[in-house]
Structure 1
Amino acid sequence: MARTSAIKLLLIGFNDDNAEDIISTFRRAGKVAHSKLINDGKELQEQLSDSHWDLAFFDAVHSKLSIAQCGQILRHANVDLPFIYLSDDENIPLPDTSVSLVLSNQNRARLLFFAQRELEALASRRELDATKAALLEEQQRNALLLDSHQDAVCYITDGMIIYANTLFCQQVGHDDLDGFPIVDLICNKDQDRFKNALKKQPGNSDGSTLEISFLSSDEQELKSSVTCNNASYDGEACVQLTLHEAGSGAATGHLDATTGLANRKHFAQLLQDFVDAQRNSNSSLIVLQLDNFDKFRRDLNLHNTETLIQALSERLQALIPAQYYGRIADDLFAVIAHHVPSQRALETSQEALKAIESEIIEVKKQSLQCHFSAAIMPINHLTTPHAATLLDQCFETVQSIAADGGNAAEIYHRDRQQLQRSDEISTLIEEAFADQRLQILFQPIINLSDAEGDYYEASLDIRDWQEGEVTAGEMLRVVEKEPNNNKLDRWIVVETTKVLAKKRAAGEDTKLTINLSGNVFHDSEFCSWLSVAMKAAGLPGSALILQFSEESIASSLKPALDCCRQLESLGIGLAVRNFGRSQDGNKFLEHIKPALIKPGVRKTDSLSADEIREIIQGGRQLNSRVLIPNVSSAASLAVLWQLGPDFIQGSYVQDPSTEMSYEFAAFG
């Protein structure tokens, strides 16, 4: 099982003492275990259908439910669940086919060893199932990409079509061509010439183009230009046919005459359409420039240079899978890779550049070695919606790479201002917004008390932070020097509540603690603005807790009290971070009545047991729930179980991330 997951146990036929003994065995080994006692078959059926379990134990000595009944229920439920039979004699044969192994009820060390082995085997099986599901999804995605390819494409082996995309079928006038002999689609006058081209193609490293007349299903002749290339489909060597109808593509000026790719104007339109429709798809634009192009053109002449460009175009298409390809200048290629994040596009580009550099390309008996400079532009919600700007920005990057020697790939990064601590506060925040440096991170909070719902804490973060820049925490502190500056806090609320609203709309009882600055206390319209924003998002007040530092409350106690009363009228809780940092903090916090307190601890520090007891005692005096951060290990969690805070969070649970995606059920 994963290090951060609680083990979920089904205990069948156990009394309370024996069940607690089993759970204690796991806890002493540093494992978090949650259990459910089962005493009858109906209850077992309900638990198997309603929840996911990791391990089941059967007490053969005390169980009123027979092992045969249990086995029948498990088989009917069709769940993958290790089932351990505990008996006074572990040398007996397996009493049922559902039983994984038989162990003695007396030897707890042996029980723990074999239980861990079963859990590891279960984790391996689940990982295998997840991998198979991911593979199937990838195969379906690849099939979809092929089917929606911008060109009419089919794949042929031994003269039979093994796959033809929708566009190819449409152009030759058939609904389905899989398993169809390709020659039956071609007019008699061209069949011999086409057969010869197919025979020669496997030995031809370059593609070949020929004019062919196809015969549609209604006996109409369709004159077309066909490009043949060696390819692989489902691991089988084959020939790829790319079909260009006369009067389309190159004939209408959409395609580059040399490569058959989209020309600059058409590619720019394809990119604009893609950005308009798929801006949030986490895709990539790749622009590649042939290094030393002027030298090749001087040495080869114009015609031979175009021959070289054609060969390189075919290699790039083979090495970089994508949805759209274009030649946007004499020495520039562009690629739109759908659902390919920028980091993966960078790795693919680097592999392609390395492969091309290692190859020798023959042009008119001259052996040439080529390499490219490549720029990768992420296409996501932060991307400018203008295709021309994207291409210009990529061009600037490849020019810079080429000037440094070329033969490299980089992800485009917008030039940005350093967020200096010495800057004016308003300037600092405006630059952060202008450079899109701000983001929200969410960290799950584990509930150890009787509170209802799933909890997260939302915090401001600086994207791509560098040493020497102001941190997000510092930004929240320094903005308080301008009490009337409310832009940052309102932006945080808008961004976090958008995510929370989507989460709750999916039916999840999610509650969010949002970290804000003390400027909220001086924003007289904040609470009324927040009320309108919550109604628009469909959020109840109970779904939100606004968290402020103890220092901010202490320095603005009267406006903090007014704000607290207004938040209370909206049903919104108030939480205190950095609890314990101010002298006499408990005295003024008695007036605030915080719903939650969180001690101020550096990320690299941890609290001692005595410090935690003192914090919990302070929380009880305020009638506030207590959150202990920085839980980084099973050992620290075991201590906290005994001390009794209401909530915990830390790397042992999950580090902060840009999504609220934690599986709370994994913790029980």
Structure 2
Amino acid sequence: MHEELQLLRQECAELAAANRHQQAVIEATPDAIHVYDVASGSLVRGNRSGTPLIGFTEPIVRVLSGTDVEVLVPVEDRAAMTGFFADASGLADGGVAKMRHRVHHEGGRVRWVSRRVTPFTRDSRGAIRELLVISRDVTDVVAVEEQLEHAALHDELTGLANRRLAHDRLDHSLLRASRGGQVAVLVCDLDGFKRINDTYGHHIGDVVLVETAARMSSSIRPADTVARAGGDASALTDTIARMGGDEFTVILDIPQHADSASVAAHVAQRIADSLAEPFRVEGREHRLSASIGIALAGDHSCAETLLSDADAAMYHIKICGGNGHAFFQPSHRLEDAGTDYLERQIRHALDVDGIEVYYQPIVDPRTDVIHGVEALLRIRGDNGNFLDTSQVVRVAERTGLIAAIDSEVLAQACVQAAAWRREPAYADLILKVNRSVRDITRPGFHQRIINALDTSGLSPEALTLEITETVLLDAAPADLADLRALNALGVGLAIDDFGTGYASLRYLAELPITCIKIDRSFTRELPIDPKAMTLVKTTINLAEQLGINCIVEGVETQHQLAALPDEARVLIQGYFYAEPQPATRALTIIASRTAASRAQSARRGDEAHGLLQSTGT
């Protein structure tokens, strides 16, 4: 009997120790652990961790069981919490129900709680009598999740919505519009941003993008939103998103009764006006403009189509010179179709050695001697006819194919010019080749020119690079340094289309320019337009004063040639002398001109000799 009593005491002691261990674990855990009585909806027991969980005194903690839930739980979560406990009362043994909800913290803050509930005891009929409730503070976890979600849906640099969120917002806007309302999409691309980014560095470009985002956001003021919503701002959810690079998208929710075109145009103009103000970064002023395409949603519009239409309208503005806005027209889609066709033709030409180079002679009108030739790109379409070169260049620049075209034209032209110059009669022939902004600003430009000269055997003095004012404006200081280095080797530099921009005189001072080419738009007006006459003569005089060559482009008639000053030392390029020709025909023209010039020189020599003999000297 004594031994049995000892054994019983030992078992009780072990049970008490296990209970104390279990209670210590429960009390030590940071989770709030409670037993919830289903019948009364009240807390019957629990650990002390519920108090620090929400920052309230222990009596208040009892509401975690569900009693007086409104004391702690925000109104938005109350119905869900009540339903959660009702559903948990039907769990099978071993089953677990989970939920998250917010609670009011004693400090006035709102914290997030994660709850796990499982059956604890049952009555004689098998119904759940008590639930075990484990609550954990997950405020920090929720904050991290929200940060990750925000990062997934927003642009890291500007904080605006990103492409993914923009698509989602546009889907919702179109759904609301289907029940009564309108939607407009504006696609905005910055004109001149690449120049800033490449010239002054990405850190400056990033500052400009952040400021652009702020200006665009302020362009859609809350007052406008309220006015368009008829006084209810919650009825509209305009979105500004950065889609990538320097492209932004604005999604406008517009009431059904409003003039959607007027609203969209008003916002587009406000955006343009906000961007017209100089951007001041690190003591410098930078100027931008915007090309904005607008698409208005129809009855059956989808997000992809609407964005695509606005994008097509934006590119139409880009093609027209930028700095403006346009509403989408079906013809813009035709422009896109034409662009796709040209891109296919360019890629095919690059794949099958279909890049052709034609040469147009440049003539000294005083002697009829050919000074040089300009290499001109030609690509044939499916029908065998040449594609419009200006459109080919535009598409090539847009698609990034211009780099391959530039390389191919330069290589072919240098080889051909070197072959011509090996003939004594053409030893002084100068080759002029256009360079695109993409080629000049792409790393390795200096070395690419050197490689073309070395491969072909053409001397640097025989090559002149023609650069438009637009190219010079987009060139970074390092690019201009490359041009100076090439000139130091003997390569000539010509400003093409001189007079069509506003930076020509500046670059005449900054760069070792060896030639200027007067744009054909001035030549075309000769001799009718007195202003054109004055501008051409002034430019010719300027070139003479600077001691550099001057080429007059686009001379097509005798009247235009006769309008040039008789004493002017100019070179002529245009259809009056010769159209662009393939290499074999160009050589024929060069040879005939050279022979004629020599014959004329010989006749003049004979006449002079006869005159000397007749005078007895």
TM-score w.r.t. structure 2 length? 0.36
More helix by share: 2
TM-score w.r.t. structure 1 length? 0.34
Larger Rg computed on CA atoms: 2
